Amino acid sequence: MKKLQNKVALVTGSGRGIGRAIALKLANEGAKIVVNDLDKDVAAETVQTIKDTGSDAVACVGDVTVSDFGKQFINCAAENFGAVDIIVNNAGYPWDTVIQKMTDEQFQAMLDVHTVAPFRILRAAADFIRPAAKQEIEEGKENYRKVVNISSIAGLYGNAGQMGYAAGKSALVGMTRTLAKEWGRYNVNVNCVAFGYIKTRITEPLGEEKSVAQVGNRSINIGIPPEMIKGMNRMIPMGRGGTPEEAAGAVYLMCSPESNYISGQVLLAAGGLTM
């Protein structure tokens, strides 16, 4: 039997990139997946890919920053699969500039997607997890649930030009350690995975023309200058950026049964890079 057989995993921002790799990894280990993305076509494609592997999945299309999304997301899992076992708060994006140029809207947007959205999802999950866990404990059943919040090396050590992004990702660490203390009695392991340089469309080398990602009604410039990527590769002890699949492997570690006595921790997946 696969290690996540019959588990139900919810992964935000799982239509593309790291989130998609996480969803596929958990599905390959037997989990049923609730896929989330802003783009319904991208979400549908990920759902179909998961089904083609022999697991099951549904799409919950929507913006994680909308106030009632948390309840919608948890209800989607409960109504379709009858369980909430794993929550991966992955959705996010960088909207960068130096502090003197950063607007209130820009700073708040980073907090909304990286801090407020996970808070609302986990608050909504409490209504399902707490009574389910209490009943299991009363019946003598041992069932561990997992929360994995996705942070960044910028959230741990800061990064020039990423005041909002770093603040949002740093707050996730405090949330992780607090929830680990609140939910330990319910057999919920709450951990954080912080990524370094992972090669996705967000971090692809800039060409002559700017690359743009559409996030709702915002057009966000993405990509990294090639010379900066070379510099990062020189700083990383392993000499390269990670792949989405390698990033997903780090998340899986915190979702597996082997993490049943690990909680409130931050795992840095950065190829040996520390700041």
The widest CA-to-CA distance across the chain, in whole angstroms, is 63
d(Cα 117, Cα 134) in Å, to the nearest integer? 26
Residue from 260, 254, 256, 164 nearest 269 by CA: 254
| 3-state SS, residue 25 | helix
For the question of residue 186 being annotated catalytic, the response is no
β-strands 32-35, 57-59 pairing: parallel
Residue 36's CB is within 10 A of a number of other CB atoms, namely: 29
- Total count of residues recorded for the chain: 275
d(Cα 186, Cα 275) in Å, to the nearest integer? 35
d(Cα 232, Cα 120) in Å, to the nearest integer? 34
191 sits in which H/E element: strand 188-195
φ and ψ of 70, to 5 deg? -55, -50
Of 144, 165, 197, 252, the active-site residue reads 165
Q: Which residues are catalytic?
A: 165
